[in-house]
Structure 1
């Protein structure tokens, strides 16, 4: 299915590239300040930021990172960010234009180490553009896509949601 024209314009204008979890992204900021993290200590940027775009039926597959991630709504349709909480529940943050939809927020936090996924709420635009700020800064070495079987076994009460947003198989 071809992407919406507005999504294609944003991908080109913002210089977005495909992201391994789904959708498109571009890093826009990497702090020059460095911090030490973990044992043994590893040096990381203090913070990073990206643009992230989901268009049409694309979604951000279940994944986790080892830093807090703050999501910011920018434009387009609303976006649901589903977080699997430590107690086994699911918390869904709906990012969107709060002035037009009282059920949305402009920002939401996904705590470090939590499994999460995101999907666009169908709407008139055909895309959702958000920003994500990660502190300490994002590193792909700390990015983990979910193993579907393990996630379904641990969070079986949410099987339909988990199944719908599992990582797509890699094409060899």
Structure 2
């Protein structure tokens, strides 16, 4: 029996993940098909959805984006992942998800809807970090806004350096 941990590409293959528009890899693993759809201002949504989400050395950043729904993140395995959260009032919160709870790493993280978030893989021994996310109301790409560096810097200039590192650049910024 092979006791070696899988590498990033083996995880991508085994979990049937595909590239995510915000960075990293994902696959939807659940949607509440057996429940009534939830009416929102932007249309009907599943009551809840869930995904696997993987950052790797080759795709180490989940770029800044904003979701309308609340999201619960659950750490599974691999290296730690650092989350940068920018609240509507400009407050910055940094959280590290990982298995070293004695060092203050979190196994679960709640990100309220309306909070800008980005993630980045921290250096470690596996070259990847795997989490799951549960989204309520369920995720719909129409409810997600990818952050553009210049727009985020204009709104939150105190975090300009962070946005330069973790936000999508606009074509004029290349």
How does the TM-score come out when normalised to structure 1? 0.89
Unaligned 5+ segments in structure 1 are: none
Q: Which residue of 2 aligns with 1:10?
A: 11
Query: Alpha carbons of 1:85 and 1:168: their partners in 2 closer, same or farther (altered >3 Å)?
Result: same
Unaligned 5+ segments in structure 2 are: 1-5
How far has the Cα of 1:169 moved from its partner?
A: 6.0
1:73 pairs with one of 58, 68, 75: 75
Separation in structure 2 between the aligned mates of residue 89 and residue 65 of structure 1, nearest angstrom: 17
CA-to-partner distance for each residue in 1:30-78, whole Å, 9 max, x for gaps? 012211112xx62110000000000015200010111001111000001
1:87 pairs with one of 86, 89, 98: 89
How far has the Cα of 1:86 moved from its partner?
A: 2.2
How far has the Cα of 1:150 moved from its partner?
A: 1.2
Separation in structure 2 between the aligned mates of residue 169 and residue 85 of structure 1, nearest angstrom: 22
Alignment size in residue pairs: 163
Taking only aligned residues, the RMSD between alpha carbons, in angstroms, comes to: 1.6
How far has the Cα of 1:168 moved from its partner?
A: 5.3
Q: Which residue of 2 aligns with 1:102?
A: 103
SS at match of 1:86: coil
Separation in structure 2 between the aligned mates of residue 152 and residue 142 of structure 1, nearest angstrom: 22
Q: Which residue of 2 aligns with 1:143?
A: 144
SS at match of 2:89: coil
SS at match of 2:7: helix
Separation in structure 2 between the aligned mates of residue 147 and residue 156 of structure 1, nearest angstrom: 13
Spell out structure 1 runs of 4+ moving beyond 2 A: none
Alpha carbons 2:88, 2:114 under 8 Å: kept? no
